[in-house]
Structures are given as C-alpha cells and as structure tokens.
A and B are shown apart, each in its own frame.
Chain A
C-alpha cells in the first residue's frame, strides 16, 4: 500500500523493528485498555452499585464504533450516507446466525460459553477466553466482512454520483435490508436435534423474521465492545493522519481539485465506504449479543441511521474525537432525561436544536481535540486575518 503507511512509521533511519513496534504498539494498547475496562472498571462499577453505568459503557462503546465509522464516509470524504444502520443489521444478523446455530452445532446449545473476557462482571469464573469466545470473535469479523461486502456492492455504482444520490441509494438499501429480513419466516429453530438435521445452507432462513431473533447468547462485554471501539478510533486516526487519508479529506474539500491532484475519487470513496461498513457490521454483531437486546431488524431502520448521523454532525463532520464525544453525550443524554419521562424526546430534540444553533459546525468542527488549533479556536483567540487581495 503505497500511500497507506503512517508518516511516523516511515521516518528515515527507523529500523524495521521500530517500525513494527510503532505500528503494533497502539493495537496492543487498545487490547490492554479493553481488558482493564472488563477486568477492573466493570467489577468496580458493579461493586459500587452502579450496574447501569457498566451497561451504559456497552451502549456508548457500540455507538462510538457506529459514529466514528460513519465519520469516515460522511466526515472524511464528505459523502452523505443515511443507511448506516443497514450495515449494522447485516453484521448483526450474520454474526447472530453464526453464533446461534454455530453454538448448537458445536456445543449442543445456545448457552453462553464464554470466558472471563465476555462475562458480565457478576459471577465470573474460569478461563479468560474459551471456544465460545473464539466463535463470537470470528462471528464479529464475519459480520464485518459481510457488511463490507454489501458496502462495496452499494458503493461501487452509487459513489460515482454526487452526494444526494448516494443518500437516496443508502436510504433505499437500508429499507431493502430491513424488509428482506422481516419478510423471512418468523421461525427460529431451538431443538438441537432438528438443528443438527437441517442442512447448513438452510439455517440462514430461520432468523426470526419480523418477530426478531431471540435466544442469542449474551457474549458482548466491555472487553469486546471496547476492543472494537478503540480499534475503530485507531484505524480512523491512522487513516486521517496518513497521505492516504488526506486523499479522503481532499474529496470533501474539493472533488475537482482532488481529481486534478491524481486522486481516483470514486475508488477512494468506495474504500472509505467499505471500511466504514466493516466497522458498522462489527458494531451490529456486538449489538446483537448485548444483554437485554432482542435483535429485530425493525429497530435497525432509518431512525437508527439518523441517530448515528446526528452523532457525527453534532461531533463535527470529519472529527474523530468529535464523533467520539458526541456518541458519549448522546448515549448518556436520553438516560439523564429519564426524570422528565414523557417530555424526554422533546427535551432531547430541543437539546439537539440548541446545539445546532449554537455550534452549527458541531462540537469540534473538522478539528481534533488534540490539535493545538482547536484550543485557540475554542477559546476564540483568532488572531490571523482572513481574505485579502
């Protein structure tokens, strides 16, 4: 990948070992952080009686994946996809099918068979990772890959066109996915013998259809969610700070000029779209196996897509840390507003309108929280002059 290498990793004189360490250290850091969240923070929260906070951290993590991945399309390349929840649905159903029927075929039941890293903080014991975790981990990746494949199929024809057309196509894609899933049989198989008898290729029919897919084991834990959330942020950051990523940004800035610099804009838009769909699929897989969730395609329609778009816009189109912050705020806000129960959605909407009036460019605009410029800009000490001759 000629343009893809991170700048820091390419400094002349850096040995291949340093390069390797620099490339993989952040990944290890993500893993470590997720383990700490799972093994230390989760139990602490629960022992303090803050179970809801542990649950909220799961939702936040999933929303972070969704918002940051959508930022790569809507923020980086400036396209407007409004079907992100559909990619989530694809990932969710692919992963759920694999985990549910895979568990029956391999372990004889759909009981959760995970180790410490995928257990709820209460009542934990045994090994850190088990066969069940392997199945779950692989199914997340499979969900992501299936979703990325859909992203490629949808993106290739529609990304040749400009903004609004993509919006319509993605909206249509979202509805197609939802209707296709809901129009399947409402049956879910739960008899191990019957499942063992049914040929493998027929199993994907029995995903619960319009009634929703129930009986899924709850593998999703702080560890799994935050491994993927942090990796999504890491990938987004690496892309944004590479030459490769500047090609994405240049499309948003000025598509003609971008072409004039030799960027194959269609190909780059498709790439961003595929990467984004991959992570949305992973988020869907994680969502499907969360405690208290009954997977139903009806909930992954365009309303969900808009929720994600709101996070991206609120955070500032193109800002990774902005999307991250907005995902946190917009996950917590509805919970805080529970006290005003019936006016909750009104208050939520009002809060959004106020945000957009006060900061139409989003929390951080296109900047990142770690940019020096952000602080100057947030504090309003703008000394440079604009315009001129």
Chain B
C-alpha cells in the first residue's frame, strides 16, 4: 500500500534521513520505533508531504506522491494525526471533528455522519465534551480528538505520530487498545512511537530507526524478543 524507497531528507545542511526504505501492506499495523532525534517524525512528515525529500521516492498504491502537496495527499486517503496532538485549541471538539471531514464532499453527508458516530463510539469521552473548547481538554482527550478527527477524514492509511507522548500510562493503554480496534475495522496504520514496548505489542511489523537509518526490521513479536531491541528500547538489561 505504501512504499518508501531510499528516502533522504535534509534540514538545510543537516542530513536527517540517510536513505530509508520501508513498506506498509494493506491491513497491517506497522510501527517505526527509535529514540529521540532518530528521524521518526521526519519520516512521517515527509510521507504526508509536509517535508520534501532530497532524494528517494514515496509510492502510495503504486503512484509516486513525493511531489504531491500535503492537502492532495490527504485526499488520496493518507491521513496524519500530527505529533503533539495538533488540535485546534480555540475551536470546540465538534468543530475540530467537522474539520476532519474537510476533504470530503458535501454529498457524503450521510457517510460523514456515520463515520463521526463511529469515531465517537471509539472515544466516548469526546461525546461528553462536544461543545467544549479543545484547548481545555486533558492531554489524553486531545490525543483522542486528534485521532477521531483523522478517522473522520476516512483514511485508507492512518499515520499516527507519537500518540502516547506525554500521556499517563493508563491513558496510553486505552489509546493503544483503540489503535488495535481501528485496525481491526479495516484501516491500515503506520505508527511512529518512542514507547517501543507498547508499539511492538500492537504492531504486526516494525522498523527500528537510528540516527536516520533503518537498523532492524521484522515481525514485531520477533523484534520484541531480540537482544538489541530489548537492551536499547525496552529497558531490559
């Protein structure tokens, strides 16, 4: 479904990605783990068109999207839930959700309402807070809102950027359970995470990113067992 080929990205003179390649198949949860500054978010932002690669290519359903502007990429069904939650703080939860449907034509009214219901079903807390400003939500609720909003855009491939960032462990559990639910209902997911422990538990396959290079890849369950990963990311000595 998504294929990244030898992607190189620079921030000015600084090379952030030294040629990474990865693949996401239909129906999978693929996770990209790595420590701070490894280039995880850079990868995701390049895929969604917010950054331009210096070289390499990105194929979505076989067609190159490396020069496609971000708003067109969303229309193709590749939707990102941005890092740091990226909700619109002065708008209500309801208005945030409406912006999720921004790329969908008005003729899909019925389908949009159904998707909204489905998203609110996944995140019942949001339903209680529809009229509240998004900026007054707790961190976990903001994360839920960002994900619900992305779901209403009807993604074929959902890009999640650090959904567990700065959240209490209990909320993280909830969020990851919902990620699995979203996937079970047919949405392919590319998950970028620092929390390797949780990410490897929900993902089918995983890539390990270290300073701009992919150093390991494979089935998530196998990686979780590998010594290097356990040492470096899972806190087992």
Chain A interface (Cβ < 8 Å from any Cβ of B): 2-3, 5, 10, 12, 243, 246-247, 249-250, 253-254, 256-265, 318, 366, 384-389
What is the CA–CA distance of A77 and B57 in the complex, to the nearest angstrom?
A: 33
Does A262 contact B74, Cβ atoms closer than 8 Å?
Answer: yes
Q: A249, A261, A384: which contacts B103 (Cβ < 8 A)?
A: A261
What is the CA–CA distance of A30 and B80 in the complex, to the nearest angstrom?
A: 43
Q: What residues of chain B lie closer than 8 Å to A253, measured between beta carbons?
A: 88-91
Does A260 contact B98, Cβ atoms closer than 8 Å?
Answer: no
Q: Tell me the B40-72 residues at the A interface (CB within 8 Å).
A: 48-50, 69-71
Does A250 contact B99, Cβ atoms closer than 8 Å?
Answer: yes
Q: What residues of chain B lie closer than 8 Å to A5, measured between beta carbons?
A: 106
Q: What residues of chain A lie closer than 8 Å to B98, measured between beta carbons?
A: 243, 246
Q: Chain A's interface: helix, strand, loop or mixed, by majority?
A: loop
What is the CA–CA distance of A261 and B151 in the complex, to the nearest angstrom?
A: 10
Contact status of A3 and B86, CB under 8 A, knowing A260-B79, A262-B71: no
User: Measured between C-beta atoms, what is the minimum distance from B104 to chain A in Å?
Assistant: 9
Does B79 contact A389, Cβ atoms closer than 8 Å?
Answer: no
Q: Does B14 contact A (CB under 8 A)?
A: no
Q: What residues of chain A lie closer than 8 Å to B34, measured between beta carbons?
A: none
User: Measured between C-beta atoms, what is the minimum distance from B68 to chain A in Å?
Assistant: 12
Chain B interface (Cβ < 8 Å from any Cβ of A): 48-50, 69-71, 74-75, 79-82, 86-91, 95, 98-103, 105-106, 109, 132, 136-141, 146, 149-150, 153, 167-168, 170-171
Does A246 contact B91, Cβ atoms closer than 8 Å?
Answer: yes
Does B99 contact A387, Cβ atoms closer than 8 Å?
Answer: no
Does B88 contact A389, Cβ atoms closer than 8 Å?
Answer: no
Identity of the chain B residue whose Cβ is nearest the Cβ of A249 in the assembled complex:
B91
Contact status of A388 and B99, CB under 8 A, knowing A10-B106, A260-B80, A261-B153: no
Does A389 contact B167, Cβ atoms closer than 8 Å?
Answer: yes
Does A261 contact B99, Cβ atoms closer than 8 Å?
Answer: yes
Does B87 contact A257, Cβ atoms closer than 8 Å?
Answer: yes
The 10 closest A-B pairs by CB, nearest first: A388-B138, A262-B74, A257-B86, A262-B103, A253-B88, A389-B168, A264-B71, A259-B70, A260-B80, A262-B71
Does B102 contact A243, Cβ atoms closer than 8 Å?
Answer: yes
Contact status of A250 and B75, CB under 8 A, knowing A260-B70, A264-B69: no
Does B139 contact A389, Cβ atoms closer than 8 Å?
Answer: yes
User: Measured between C-beta atoms, what is the minimum distance from B135 to chain A in Å?
Assistant: 8
Contact status of A260 and B86, CB under 8 A, knowing A2-B105, A10-B106, A384-B132: yes
